[in-house]
Amino acid sequence: MIKKFLCAPGPTAVPAEILSEMSKPLMHHRTPQFSNVVAENAALLKQVFQTKNTVLTLTSSGTGAMEASVTNFLSKGDKMLVLSAGKFGERFSEIGKAYGANVVEIKADYSKDIKASEVEKALKENPDTKAVYSEYSETSTGVAFDIKNIASVVKKTEAIFVVDGITAIGAMEFKMDEWGIDIAIAGAQKSFMIPPGLAFISFSEKAEKMMKSANMPRFYFDLAKEKKNLEKNTTAWTPAITLFMGLNYALKMMLEEGLDNVVQRHFRVGEAFRNSIKSIGLSLFADIPNVQPSDAVTAVKVPEGIDGAKLPGLMRDRYGVTIAGGQGSMKGKIFRLGHLGYVDKSDIVVELQAMELAFKELGYKFELGASVAAAQKYILEKFPIPNVELSEAGD
């Protein structure tokens, strides 16, 4: 038997309590009982997004909400400025082009980000820009964009600012209203600790005004229709009922812990990984200190002479720990250690020991146990001691 640990940057591990909640007998989605769940989820999501705006829940992956952020707010030929330094920035461009938008990209290498000053320059050069699209945590590279400062630039213009927070919201500090973000997107299978199948999207009054004149085709992802239905505590289409039930439990778990505590936990876990991998001679893929690393996923360069394409499979099949490899042109060149959602200090040790054992099999030379020891040292120094009552074991 090999015990399985899901340590990817999405989907992420699901707590047993949530799995139990989702296994309860199915209810019908057009009932008062389910309407109560819809209403409560909507109110709790506002707290996570830190917004007074409506947060809609779509039965789709996060890409569905990304598509909706284009089709509901732009018209064919509208100019959208895309900040692209990874696979998911590129996805925004692909969606825009598919629907006939005039896509202008600010591109950077995969290990880098786009600075607020670059966005300001691009907006001056393109004053007819309708919307600026950006990642927050670029999942493919482990780089976090400075969306707070980028937002301060965009809100001086007529353009709206759209943020893909699929990996970040619920794991990193995020204040939609205070920072001036017009559209925010998140996904269920990340920090929200439930299986894939739900996407969340919220939009400001500024964005909603654009929605009224947008004429791109849309049907299933019609946010105006979805909002009207949410006002009646229901959904436009048949939802993923069990996921709504799991989300309800997950949101309560997150808010009971406290959002500040959730963010701090992710930061500490991320720092532990970033410090520990260096102890065995590995390097972060993110261009530190010129960029901010994500606290949701750590991307690591594969050492020279090592077949990086084999590492994720070895960790998964031999040692039971599922991580993610590089995407596209980064395949075999980097690997990605996920650490978001249902994750704490013990997960760090599990993930690192599997990584070390796999590297030993691949012929990488290092002191066995060094990264685990570094993580343990960090845990002892930086993680708070839980305030729990200790008791002796029974007979």
pLDDT score recorded for residue 385 = 80
pLDDT score recorded for residue 256 = 98
Cα–Cα dist 256/29, whole Å:
27
Tens digit of each residue's pLDDT (9 = 90 or more) over 364-392? 999 999 999 999 999 999 998 877 666 66
3-state secondary structure of 96: helix
Tens digit of each residue's pLDDT (9 = 90 or more) over 281-330? 999 999 999 999 999 999 999 999 999 999 999 999 999 999 999 998 89
Cα–Cα dist 66/121, whole Å:
25
Q: State the average pLDDT for the chain.
A: 96
Within the chain, strands assigned E span 5-6, 55-59, 79-84, 102-107, 129-135, 137-138, 143-144, 160-164, 183-187, 198-203, 292-293, 297-301, 321-322, 324-325, 334-338
pLDDT score recorded for residue 395 = 52
The number of CA neighbours under 13 Å toward the Cβ of 285 is 32
Closest by CA to 147, choosing from 135, 129, 159, is 135
- Crossing angle for the helix pair 370-382 and 345-362, to the nearest 10 degrees: 170
pLDDT score recorded for residue 394 = 55
**Please, which pLDDT band fits residue 393 given cuts at 50, 70 and 90?**
low
pLDDT score recorded for residue 387 = 75
Cα–Cα dist 262/264, whole Å:
5
Q: In what order do the strands lie in the sheet with 143-144?
A: 137-138, 143-144, 292-293
The number of beta carbons lying within 10 Å of the beta carbon of residue 373 is 15
Tokens 């830190």 label which residue? 50
pLDDT score recorded for residue 392 = 67
Closest by CA to 92, choosing from 112, 115, 74, is 74
The identity of residue 65, as a single letter, is A
What domains are defined for the chain? 5-10+259-382 (3.90.1150.10), 16-255 (3.40.640.10)
The number of beta carbons lying within 10 Å of the beta carbon of residue 221 is 23
Bond from prior residue into 11 cis (ω within 30 degrees of 0): yes
Mean pLDDT of 88-105: 97
Tens digit of each residue's pLDDT (9 = 90 or more) over 122-179? 999 999 999 999 999 999 999 999 999 999 999 999 999 999 999 999 999 999 999 9
Mean pLDDT of 100-128: 98
